[in-house]
Structure 1
Amino acid sequence: MKMIIAIVQNQDQRVLVETLMENEFHVTKLATTGGFLKVGNTTLLIGVEEERVERVIEIIREVCEPREQIIPNTTNTTLGTEALYSTYPIKVTVGGATIFVVDVERFEKI
């Protein structure tokens, strides 16, 4: 048995969970916060048999495509004794997923 831990953007999670459940995968959803953009994301815990791992990853890949987003730039720097602030928005790539696949030593459903 394997545990897939998938961290996805909040806007992708609804479709992803529905698609996984339609394909008979059981999913536990956790609300989490990312460190890079400091925005909410979703962590999914998916327990599967080893031979079904690749199918789960395929589904995640299909649903969670990376895309570009414009975000406010809140960067500031110091030059001598003066603080400089940049107000130009920046383009970042969001979406996609971070996936961990780990061995499950023991599984019990009570």
Structure 2
Amino acid sequence: MLGPRIKKLRVAKKLTQKQLAEQIKVTHVSISGYENGNRYPDTDTLQRLADYFEVSTDYLLGRSDNAHMTADEEFRAFSNNPKLDHFFKEIESGDEQEQEELQQIWEIIKQRKRNKDK
């Protein structure tokens, strides 16, 4: 998830790998490795990437699909939606098997969205 998101953000800003590398103080080989999934940035570099692109580290890591919210913030916004209140109550009353099936369905939906974003 990290590599495609870095590349998408870099391309959106019309930057080469070398230009991005200069901005966040790493080598262009590192950027290439991050985008291809052969390397992973350390925490400081991950934060510099997030700061440069003005996104959350959760977004870069695939923990959130909202570039400007952490996974916890995204969940709070989702769970506070009044339209979903009834839905949440129904889920709670479901048995464990039903809840697991719903979670699997949701993971499929999220994966489909990620594939579209690539």
Larger RCO (CA within 8 A; separation ≥ 6): 1
Same fold (TM over 0.5): no
Normalization by structure 2: what TM-score? 0.28
Higher helix residue share? 2
Higher strand residue share? 1
Task: Say which one has the larger Rg.
Answer: 1
